[in-house]
Chain A
Amino acid sequence: MDPRFKIAHREALIGVGLAIVHFIWWFGFAYGLGSAPVEEYKYILGFPEWFFYSCIVGFLLVSLTVIILAKFVLKDVSFEEEGDQL
């Protein structure tokens, strides 16, 4: 197999993994904290706690993860065909 495909397959799996973790974070905080009665809600910077963690912190963490992935994990490969390997 083209060695570049190994890299591609690994990175696609990283994408699936990140989406799963992202979903769990988003879902867990939204419905974990958000299911409490409204009177018991706590607020951070004015936002309901469930929303703050699920959507604002969640978004920041995903952005940070993507930056780390792009800088340190994803590999540079050439997209052009090399010689007669076909």
Chain B
Amino acid sequence: MNIQVIIPMILFLGIIFFIGYWSSKKIGESTGGFLQEYFLGGRELGGFVLAMTMVATYGSASSFLGGPGTAYTMGFGWVLLSMTQVVTGYFVLLILGKKFAILARRYNAITLIDFLKVRYNNSTAVVLLAAASMIIFLFSAMTAQWVGGGRLIESLTGIKYTTALFIFAVSVLVYVVIGGFRAVAVTDAVQGGVMVIGTLILLIAVIIAGGGVPNIMQDLLNENPNLVTPYGNDGNLSMAYVSSFWILVGVGVVGLPQMAVRAMSYKNSKSMHRALVIGTIVTGFIMLNMHLIGVFARTIMPGIEVPDTVIPLVALKILPAWLAGIVLAAPLAAIMSTVDSLLILVSSSIVKDVYINYLNPSASEKTVKRISFGVTTILGSIVFLLALNPPDLLIFLNLFAFGGLEAAFIWPVVLGLYWSYGNKYGAIASMISGIVSYIAIHFYNQVNGNLFGVHTVVVPVILSLVAYIIFSLLIKRTKYVY
């Protein structure tokens, strides 16, 4: 493997470590309490960091390797689908928005579950159900991402998977454990920047290598005209299916705990307004670039067998080695920035939602500190061990991680904020029906094809809405005063 490709990556890791160290200093200086500092960055995020951390957390391995790979196979229909993600840039912040920020401060909430706990009258069932689904699903999602990170380093550098995974694990663990949420958010900003620059360079290079956009389009038409239609390479992308991604990767993202927690971490309404603008532009820019690269690459390198490898192969082929190194730091950045956010989130849930809430409410600041560092380290180590040889159960759970969590959390969070008649019975019914129906419909779809021709997420989101409303109105209907 070319040493020139590796040097930019080592530099990139160096910067990330430095940020971890800097953040750990901040934790020492903070005055607002250790928990708020370690798990929320002291609620001090500015607009730029907030926007980038939302984009980067959300843009994972799937959007950076899987997405362009699918676009390579399916053509413009998949680029159309990927652009449904632009909506997340403004939707999450506008919907959760100011009310969530105000209430989270009033309730003194550090985690999403803290918020749910106060909103639903200290219901133990709500807290435990929410914490369990979050820990189980996000833990599985995290392991899958670590496997992706290890594989990526393996394919770029040629070192063995186990060693590659070890390097990846240690890099992430060091800065997350010592730096907490602030380190996660600030490194996300750097990683987001790497993604913007990396995708732009590669897109330009691909267009030049392909002889300009009109030329590339002609090549695609010659090969298979379906590639330039919205319907996929063999007409397999239906209108209903593509549109249903507006829920999965668009508006439904409001329900993901890793996004919601960011909506309570910003400093003031000015940061929120800036983040709206930056987040929307950056998400759209990265998604458009990345997926266009996938489609255009088809004319430069036809016949790639494993679609996930399109981006690395194209970068190595058309760019000088050192530039390819910079570009290929982008998918690595995407994976790291997703994994670090999940790690700190799962850790916060265990420490705050379970340990402090139920096991040891009077824990001293010193104990909490020790437990937080300890839990984060242990979690990371377990994930590493599991990623060496992922058990089937984890791979199974990961399938439901994003859609399942969306179906579980979207209404308890959104209606909990805006509908005063929502109560704990509605929330419990909504979470259970969301997850259970998601898993059931997943199996139904596997056997019979997509129910109503839409993605699995759609029906559970509707069912959990109905359950929330019916149960809130039927059982102990009360008006909540915010």
Give chain A's interface residues, CB within 8 Å of chain B. 1-2, 4-5, 7-9, 11-12, 14-16, 18-19, 22-23, 26-27, 30-31, 34-35, 38-39, 41, 43, 45-48, 50-51, 54-56, 58-59, 62-63, 66-67, 69-70, 74-81, 86
Are B79 and A51 in touch, CB under 8 angstroms?
yes
Are B229 and A38 in touch, CB under 8 angstroms?
yes
B residues 238-253 in Cβ contact with A at 8 Å: 239, 243, 246, 250-251
Q: Which residues of B contact A79 (CB under 8 A)?
A: 98, 101-102, 105, 268-269
Are B217 and A43 in touch, CB under 8 angstroms?
yes
Closest A residue by C-beta to B217: A46
Are A12 and B225 in touch, CB under 8 angstroms?
no
Q: Which residues of B contact A16 (CB under 8 A)?
A: 95
Residues of B within 8 Å of A, CB-based: how many? 50
Are A12 and B90 in touch, CB under 8 angstroms?
no
Shortest Cβ gap from A27 to chain B (Å): 6
Closest B residue by C-beta to A71: B273
Roughly how many angstroms separate A55 CA and B276 CA in the complex, as a whole number? 19
Q: Specify which of A23, A50, A58, A66 lies most central, judged by the most chain B CB atoms within 10 Å of its CB.
A: A66
Roughly how many angstroms separate A38 CA and B224 CA in the complex, as a whole number? 10
Are A38 and B221 in touch, CB under 8 angstroms?
yes
Closest A residue by C-beta to B87: A19
Closest B residue by C-beta to A33: B230
Are A74 and B273 in touch, CB under 8 angstroms?
yes
Specify the main secondary structure of chain A where it touches its partner.
helix
Are B102 and A58 in touch, CB under 8 angstroms?
no
B residues 206-244 in Cβ contact with A at 8 Å: 212-217, 221, 225-226, 228-231, 239, 243
Are B418 and A12 in touch, CB under 8 angstroms?
yes
> Does B288 have its Cβ within 8 Å of any Cβ on chain A?
yes
Are A75 and B269 in touch, CB under 8 angstroms?
yes
Q: Which residues of B contact A67 (CB under 8 A)?
A: 277
Roughly how many angstroms separate A2 CA and B102 CA in the complex, as a whole number? 10
> Does B274 have its Cβ within 8 Å of any Cβ on chain A?
yes
Question: A31-B239, A47-B217, A63-B281 known; A15 and B91 CB under 8 Å?
Answer: yes
Roughly how many angstroms separate A12 CA and B231 CA in the complex, as a whole number? 33
> Does B83 have its Cβ within 8 Å of any Cβ on chain A?
yes
Are B95 and A86 in touch, CB under 8 angstroms?
no
Q: Which residues of B contact A48 (CB under 8 A)?
A: 76, 217, 228-229
Are B270 and A76 in touch, CB under 8 angstroms?
yes
Closest B residue by C-beta to A68: B277
> Does B54 have its Cβ within 8 Å of any Cβ on chain A?
no
Closest A residue by C-beta to B291: A55
> Does B123 have its Cβ within 8 Å of any Cβ on chain A?
no
Shortest Cβ gap from A38 to chain B (Å): 4
Q: Which residues of B contact A39 (CB under 8 A)?
A: 225
Q: Which of A8, A55, A74 is close to B79, meaning CB atoms less than 8 Å apart?
A: A55
Question: A9-B99, A12-B97 known; A46 and B280 CB under 8 Å?
Answer: no
> Does B94 have its Cβ within 8 Å of any Cβ on chain A?
yes
> Would you mind naming 29 contact pairs between A and B with Cβ atoms under 8 Å apart?
A1-B482, A7-B98, A9-B99, A11-B94, A18-B90, A19-B87, A22-B87, A23-B246, A26-B80, A26-B84, A34-B231, A35-B230, A39-B225, A43-B214, A46-B216, A46-B217, A48-B229, A51-B79, A51-B228, A54-B80, A59-B83, A62-B86, A74-B276, A76-B269, A76-B270, A76-B273, A77-B98, A77-B269, A79-B268
Are A34 and B229 in touch, CB under 8 angstroms?
yes
> Does B148 have its Cβ within 8 Å of any Cβ on chain A?
no
B residues 56-115 in Cβ contact with A at 8 Å: 76, 79-80, 83-84, 86-87, 89-91, 94-95, 97-99, 101-102, 105-106
Roughly how many angstroms separate A30 CA and B245 CA in the complex, as a whole number? 14
Closest A residue by C-beta to B94: A15
Closest A residue by C-beta to B216: A46
Roughly how many angstroms separate A54 CA and B76 CA in the complex, as a whole number? 12
> Does B331 have its Cβ within 8 Å of any Cβ on chain A?
no
Closest B residue by C-beta to A39: B225
Roughly how many angstroms separate A85 CA and B102 CA in the complex, as a whole number? 13
> Does B284 have its Cβ within 8 Å of any Cβ on chain A?
yes
Are B98 and A11 in touch, CB under 8 angstroms?
yes
Are A41 and B228 in touch, CB under 8 angstroms?
yes
Q: Which residues of B contact A55 (CB under 8 A)?
A: 79-80, 83, 288
Roughly how many angstroms separate A16 CA and B482 CA in the complex, as a whole number? 22
Are A50 and B230 in touch, CB under 8 angstroms?
yes
Q: Which residues of A contact B226 (CB under 8 A)?
A: 38
Q: Which residues of A contact B95 (CB under 8 A)?
A: 12, 15-16
In the complex, the 7 A-B pairs of residues with the closest C-beta atoms, listed nearest first? A15-B94, A46-B213, A8-B99, A46-B214, A34-B230, A8-B98, A70-B273
Question: A18-B90, A66-B276, A77-B269 known; A8 and B76 CB under 8 Å?
Answer: no
Q: Which residues of B contact A14 (CB under 8 A)?
A: 94
Q: Specify which of B83, B84, B91, B212 lies most central, judged by the most chain A CB atoms within 10 Å of its CB.
A: B83
Are A5 and B251 in touch, CB under 8 angstroms?
no
Q: Which residues of B contact A22 (CB under 8 A)?
A: 86-87
New A-B pairs, 10, CB < 8 Å, besides A23-B87, A59-B86: A2-B482, A4-B102, A8-B99, A12-B99, A23-B243, A39-B225, A66-B90, A66-B277, A78-B268, A81-B106
